Structure formats: structure tokens, C-alpha cells
Amino acid sequence: MADDFRLAVLNPAGRDPEQHFSDEQARASSKVHAPVNFHAYAACTHGAVFRETKRALASGWPVLLMLRGDFRATERALSELRRAKRPVAVAFKETGMHQIAQQLSDPGKFERFVRIARAADGCVASTEHAAQILRLVTSRRVAFIPTPCPIDDENWNWSAAHRAGIFVGTREFDVPSRNHLAALLAAKKISDATREAVTVFNLDRRRGARMIAQIGFAKVRVHEQRASYRAYLGEVARHKIVFQLDRSRVPGQVAGDALLCRSVCVGGDGATETIAYPETCGVDRTADQLITIAQRLLEHEGERRAIAARAIEIAMEKLSFSTGRKSLAHFFCQL
């Protein structure tokens, strides 16, 4: 059944163009959205991402409807899908703990959210935190299905033979739960102890550059421009470890990037971090403990390689596209 299952992911009135993942070349092309984040739910089933409800209906497939914006477009789309008797589950598009809190702090949005969650056939959550919120407002079936990772697709194998340095996986100074400044300070401490260079993306321009300069890295590489996802993965793959102190309860794109690069992610409490990197994630560990772990892995290549290998093995079993397709097929079959 899973082999035949296709899913339409509908992001109503969203900015992402319609994209189909049925063609191998299309999935590997650099000109289309990578099969990550909410696109991964479509990609793992060889389905498609839509922005127009009529196009999603024309596919004939079950629909995963994104909760986005002020939820008005989501509610209108849900009404159309329900009238067409199409199986439909809803999911938060932005699932960080801070993002959900911000969305639901508005009374009007919260009222619409409750109506939508109760009217849909079910709900899918990419994090346990999102699943808990959904279960508190609806008696419909709620499934925690981590964002699938194309770890089982060789087109997305970004392993590198030669690695050096520390890659800081976060880059948002203005989101408190990201702990980006703390991650940079910790990375400096690790760098000073190991003499490994630090790499960071700075998209905050002069403000971010001043912050980085004041930290006083002995060895630092700063990228000031956005990169394509493939170029970004190429940069991540050059490093021994990916480091972060994120406490946002996100799906875990930083760890997902590390997995595709066959690397090790240290820190973070996202879903992917917690599942794939139980020995190095930030859950129940202090910043000092994570600094110690990072220093040890930078100095002991055998241990680092062993943890990376275990992470890949876990991801193949619990986070792969094959697993995601089976989980989604089973969930929609139960609706």
C-alpha cells in the first residue's frame, strides 16, 4: 500500500510554486525546492506541493493542509476539501515552539485554529510539542511524524572525505530560543581549546558582523551571502561537527543537514536531533556538557565517525523517506 501512496501537500496562497516529486531528475534538480521541511512529506511519497486548492483536488490524492499565516486561507481550503470529501489532515507549517506561541497568541487566529483542527479528519505534527498542542484542542487522530529526511536517496549524499573545523548551525540573533549568540561564544571556547576554525553564516549584515567581531575568534570564516541549499550543504560537509544550542523544539533542519553530510550534530533539541543524535543532542545537557562533547569529538576521529555512523543507521530506520512514506500511508489509511 505504501508504494502506491501519493500525498498532496497544500500550502494555500503560499509563495512556493507548485512542485511535483514524481520524477527523479526533478527531485535532484537545483532549480526546485529541496525535499526538506514540509516539502519532504510530498517528496517521500512521490507526491506534490500545491498552492491552489483546485490543483490539489485534481491530483486525486489525500491532502496534508498547512496551517499558515492567519489561517484564513487554510480554513477556506479546508471547506473546499471537505465539500469534495477528500481525506485531509492539517499540520503547522512553522513548528518551532516560539512560532506556534506567536501564531496562537492572537485570539482570532486561535479561534480559527481550533475550528480547523476539529473539522479536519486528522492532524500531522513534525514535533512532539506541536502534537501536544493539537491533542489539547481536538479529539481527531494526531500523529507525530518527524520530517522525512532523504537519507536513503544517494542524490542527497553529501559525505566528504576531508573535514576540518566547527560549523555553527544557527544564525538568528533575534530569536531568543535559538541561543545563537551563546552558540557562537561556546564555539569560540571550543575553537580556542582545539585550534579548529569556526564557520558561521551572517545574514544580519553590519549588526551581525559587529557581534561576531566583538566575540574575538582566533580563527573564523564568515559567509555574508545566502547560498543555494546544495551550496550550503557543500559548506556544512567540509566540517568535522555541526554545533548549536537551539532550544526551539523545531523539526530539526540543522541535524537533517548534518545527516545528509554524514556528519555529527552537537546540541539542539529538535525532533531530528533527539532521534538521530541521542548521544550529542542538547536534551538534558548543559552548554558546558555540550562543549566538552564537541571538544572530545574534534580530538578523537574514531569516536566522531562512530557517532556519525550510528546516526545514519538510526535515520535510515526512523527518518528516511521510506519510513516517512509508510507512516503517512498508514496514518491516512486510518482516517
Can you tell me the mean pLDDT for 21-49?
Answer: 81
The helix (run of H) or strand (run of E) holding residue 92 is strand 88-92
Evaluate if residue 15 carries a pLDDT over 60: yes
- Contact between 174 and 207 under an 8 Å Cβ cutoff? The reply is no
Can you tell me the mean pLDDT for 155-170?
Answer: 95
Evaluate if residue 23 carries a pLDDT over 80: no
Tell me the CB-side half-sphere exposure of residue 25, using CA atoms within 13 A: 0
CB atoms within 10 A of CB 83: 9
**pTM more than 0.85:** yes
Between CA 335 and CA 333 the distance in angstroms is 6
Q: Do domains 2-148+320-334 and 152-317 have the same CATH topology?
A: yes
CATH class of the domain whose range is 152-317:
alpha beta
Q: At 24, is the pLDDT very low, low, confident or very high (cuts 50, 70, 90)?
A: low
Domain ranges (residues) in the chain = 2-148+320-334, 152-317
For the segment 266-320, what is each residue's pLDDT rounded down to a tens digit? Answer: 999 999 999 999 999 999 999 999 999 999 999 999 999 999 999 999 999 999 9
Beta-strand ranges (E) seen in 162-260 are: 166-168, 198-201, 220-223, 241-243
Q: Residue-wise over 168-200: b if at least 16 C-beta within 10 A, else e? A: bbbbbbeeebbbbbbbbebbbebbeebebbbbb
Between CA 166 and CA 298 the distance in angstroms is 9
Give the Cα-Cα-Cα angle 142, 145, 150 (nearest 5 degrees). Answer: 160
What pLDDT sits at residue 103? 94
Can you tell me the mean pLDDT for 24-46?
Answer: 79
Between CA 205 and CA 325 the distance in angstroms is 40
Can you tell me the mean pLDDT for 149-155?
Answer: 95
Evaluate if residue 26 carries a pLDDT over 60: no
Percent of the chain with pLDDT over 90: 94
What pLDDT sits at residue 33? 85
Q: Is the dihedral of CA 300, 277, 100, 126 positive or negative?
A: positive
What pLDDT sits at residue 25? 46
What pLDDT sits at residue 32? 75
Given the candidates 3.40.30, 3.30.70, 3.40.50, 1.10.3470, the CATH classification of the domain at 2-148+320-334 is: 3.40.50
Can you tell me the mean pLDDT for 112-125?
Answer: 98
